[in-house]
Chains A and B, each alone.
Chain A
Amino acid sequence: MNPVNNTQSMTRGSNKSNLKTGLMLAAVALVFFVAVVANHVYFR
């Protein structure tokens, strides 16, 4: 059985909600990266 698909059969953690959470966290990471670099480009 493919464990990736197992999540769909469970009562929680559908692939869609996982993707939503994952993308939100990735956006946070991106914000931190852009903030550090943009801050330096702008203020130096």
Chain B
Amino acid sequence: MDNTVNSAMLDPATGWSILALFSLVWIFLGWFWGRKARALDDFMLAGRNVGMALGVATAMATWVTSNTTMAAPQLALQLGIWGMVGYSLGSVGLMLFAPLARRIRHLMPFGYTSGDFVRLRYGKTAWRVFLLISLFYAFGWLISLGMAGGVLIHALTGIPYQYGMTVILSICVLYTLLGGLRAVIGTDFIQTIIILLGIGMLCWLAITRLGFDDIHSAVAESRPELLNLLMPAAIMFLFNNLLFGVGEIFHSNVWWSRAFAFRKGVGFSAYLTAGAMWIPIPIVAGFVALAVPALGLNVPAADMVGPMVAARLSGALGAVVVFIVVFSALASSLDSLLAATADLILQDIYRGHLRPAAGENELRVAAKLIILGLGLGAWLLCLPRLTTLAELLYFTGAFVSSTIWPIAAGLYWRRTNAAGATLAMLLGTGVGLYSYFAIGFYVAALSGAAVSMLTVIITTWLRPADFNWQTLRAETEAVA
């Protein structure tokens, strides 16, 4: 019997039907929630009044990307039990951001972007270095998500890559354009529920159809290293993944824009709860991969292990569930990234560098054009399906981890100085990139963060500044 599953698990007609149904729902909701958004704050930051339920769900959904649903099973198959647990440590970033979100809302109640903070706290040089890092990361993530969309839709349904990628990008651009952050956060809630129910159901199927004992004994017999609690590469991955996640969350405007958008007093609890509820998701998604030996599956591509197991366990229904979960996971991250990156370009490039005197109406039009331009740019870059572009995101570990200390210290230590923060970002990125090429991907974030930390601590100690926290509130209030 050939146990290799190479062909698509759903026929294209079913794939198109599911895509059409969900696309219509997201676009309608985007229009519905966005129809009353008149002011720029409404469009960019959902009126700055988002409550706890939507706050928790949007943080969870945005952090569950196609990587979580597809790469967690892949990592479980490659690195075993620590692959699952290591991936779940991505939640540490969300939980550590909880106090920062409260501090951000307190210091800058009228702020718009993470760039605002770096500009006001450290000045223009650090701001420009930060913008380069942040935009590089955002584009890397955007392209990797767009390409993942095309690849996954093709793998699951047989729909050609270009069509699938175009559909997922167009849908997200359209409803973000119609409803701004309100549409993003509203759809995130529904997408979170879908993702949780979907992966829970697949894990439940694996347990009831195969049982823990059969799954465990088959893995112990054919791949015992996956159950080894002392696998060195996996333990290294665990720490690197933790720091990569912290760096991604601390610097990215995706998370800052939510800190500004959440109602006063919600940020801390929302991020903490989202982090706690995110912990088990990669474990549940990853466990499904451990069923591979018990099912006797041959896996041609490690990142397709989740859908393959689902299809084997429950046939077409499993494949439909996986497709809906993956589509939801992709959309929930893509829309957030589009909205937050558009905010960053609007506030820090357009208003910050090109049109400082732009009025609210001009900015609203510019915000929409930027979302459209971002979608178009991502589509053009994703079209040739260059795998080197998809790998761009892996490089960014070195970049983002170098921002952890300048951001955290900048929010809490008034003595941290601008030159030290700039140097920390540059040195951390440089050393992180060197480690990436000289040693391996699993140390890039680790070394970048370490060098950045040392630089911030030493420069703060050698040349202490005396920053006035009131500057942040006063300056952002004046702009708002």
Question: Is chain B a partner of chain A in the same complex?
Answer: no
